[in-house]
Amino acid sequence: MFNLFLFSLIVFHSKAQWVELDPGVDVPYFSDVYAITPETVLVVGANGTILKTIDGGETWIQKTSGTTQNLQEIQFPTPEIGFVRGSNGIFLKTNNGGETWISINAGFEDDFKYSCVNDNLIFAIIGNSLLKSENGGESWNNVSGENLIHTNKIQFLNDEIGLAGGYPWEGFSRTINGGETWENISLSVSPFYFFNDTTGFYYADGLYKSTDSGSSFSNLGGVGEWGGELRDIFSITENTVWGIIAGDLSGDNSTRGIIKMSISETEPYNEIIAWDNADIDMASIYFANENTGYVVGRNNGQGKIWKNSSGINDPLSTEEQQQLNFRVYPNPASSELNILMNNVIGEFSIIISDMTGKQMYSQTYSKIKKLKIDTSNLNQGTYILTIKNKNQKYSQKIIIH
């Protein structure tokens, strides 16, 4: 007896779960966001702008930064103590949760990147030079930094282990001796993030995970069919990773988006894309917990903030699901797999991959409601069936016996 599986092709709208908030100010863009709690969030951006909310984004209060330089990154090693870096060596500090800010005269004249291990220990990179402060940024010492690559991000997991990387052309490297020497991990890597001192991810045409502080990484899946390059990623657990897509989704500059990557011991790796129009430029993403996250950027030259309060992206309405339902049967299959669609309009692709990500079948169809796929040449085992069109994608396991 054939097993019958009914599932829906889900479209994810950034305007649905990712709700646009009103920042209450007129600035060209926001660069970074940090959520101390789901309700207490700070955002930095152009012209020295620092915003804070204590009600989850309902209202935003602008804080005095003391500068008109563009602010680029914000970190809080404790709920009270935080740091902001800006253009031309600007470095700000708060001791009261972002209510007031003071300028730290660190002696930086150029743009820099930094990483807070705690409220006292901070590492900073200026060009190819590595500096370290052990007193909250008041004074800095040079660290050897041998073989340190040019990078646009660093993250120290403790006083000894740190990682440096950025966009694909800049590579990825690691230190285990406080930055004295660095060893290359990969020549091509997109942004990375570790949510504790042992576990983290990077994305390079697929998601890679480490559970040993970056000593080794394993590929979880993903082939980057939408472009494969991310601007920023963030995780709060080892089961979910969020990312901002650096390029456009469609290849014609009409859509950009957020990607959610799900990892489970019982289900295959899955990438889900939330999309919007090309006018939206998303810069940074941060989740306070599994359900509440924020994204900042700009839209048509105006700084924007978006919030997700569910940790998911909105599925289609019931009516839309009924219109797009499809069936895949039998499952398990032997020599033939059938796909029956109620109403799929336009061009779409069917892809079957093995559990290593190797494509065993790939075909594009247009306006077909029913099709048969010959699976007699596939070995027995578990595969991933992916059905997608321009802005839609769904994957599930199929078994061949």
Q: In what order do the strands lie in the sheet with 19-21?
A: 19-21, 302-308, 293-299, 280-287
**Most confident stretch, 105-109, 191-195, 269-273:** 191-195
Task: Provide the pLDDT for residue 16.
Answer: 44
Percent of residues, the chain, with pLDDT higher than 90? 46
Residue 290 to residue 137: CA distance in whole angstroms:
31
How do strand 218-221 and strand 230-235 relate by DSSP bridges?
unpaired
The rounded Cα 261 to chain-centroid distance in angstroms is: 9
pLDDT for 60-106, tens place per residue?
999 999 999 999 999 999 999 999 999 999 999 999 999 999 999 88
**Most confident stretch, 40-49, 246-255, 317-326:** 40-49
335: Cβ–Cβ under 8 A, 6 or more apart, which residues?
Answer: 374, 375, 376
Residue 124, burial from CB neighbour count under 10 angstroms (0-12, 13-18, 19+): buried
Residue 196 to residue 149: CA distance in whole angstroms:
23
Q: In what order do the strands lie in the sheet with 192-194?
A: 192-194, 200-203, 207-210, 218-221
Q: Poorest-confidence range of 17-26, 68-77, 384-393?
A: 384-393
Q: Poorest-confidence range of 26-30, 173-177, 249-253, 372-376?
A: 249-253
> How many other CB atoms are there within 10 angstroms of residue 24's CB atom?
11
pLDDT for 344-365, tens place per residue?
557 888 889 887 678 899 999 8
Tell me the two tokens of residue 285: 């993403």
Task: Provide the pLDDT for residue 322.
Answer: 42
Helix (H) or strand (E) segment spanning residue 323: helix 318-324
Q: Poorest-confidence range of 12-16, 146-150, 238-242, 328-332?
A: 12-16
Q: Given a cut of 70, is residue 223 above it in pLDDT?
A: no
Query: One-letter amino acid identity for 334?
Result: S
Residue with tokens 């069917």: 350
Q: Given a cut of 90, is residue 157 above it in pLDDT?
A: yes
Task: Provide the pLDDT for residue 242.
Answer: 93
| Mean pLDDT rounded to a whole number for the chain | 83
Task: State mean pLDDT over 275-302.
Answer: 86
Residue 159 to residue 123: CA distance in whole angstroms:
9
Q: Given a cut of 90, is residue 148 above it in pLDDT?
A: no
Q: Given a cut of 70, is residue 248 above it in pLDDT?
A: no
| Cα dist from 194 to 197, 235, 249, whole Å | 7, 7, 26
Task: Provide the pLDDT for residue 7.
Answer: 30
Task: State mean pLDDT over 383-392.
Answer: 74
How do strand 30-35 and strand 293-299 relate by DSSP bridges?
unpaired
Query: pLDDT higher for 200 or 189?
Result: 200
CB 150 within 8 A of CB 127: yes
User: Which domains does the chain show, CATH number per domain?
Assistant: 12-308 (2.130.10.10), 317-400 (2.60.40.3080)
pTM confidence score: 0.74
User: Helices (H), strands (E): how many in the chain?
Assistant: 1, 37
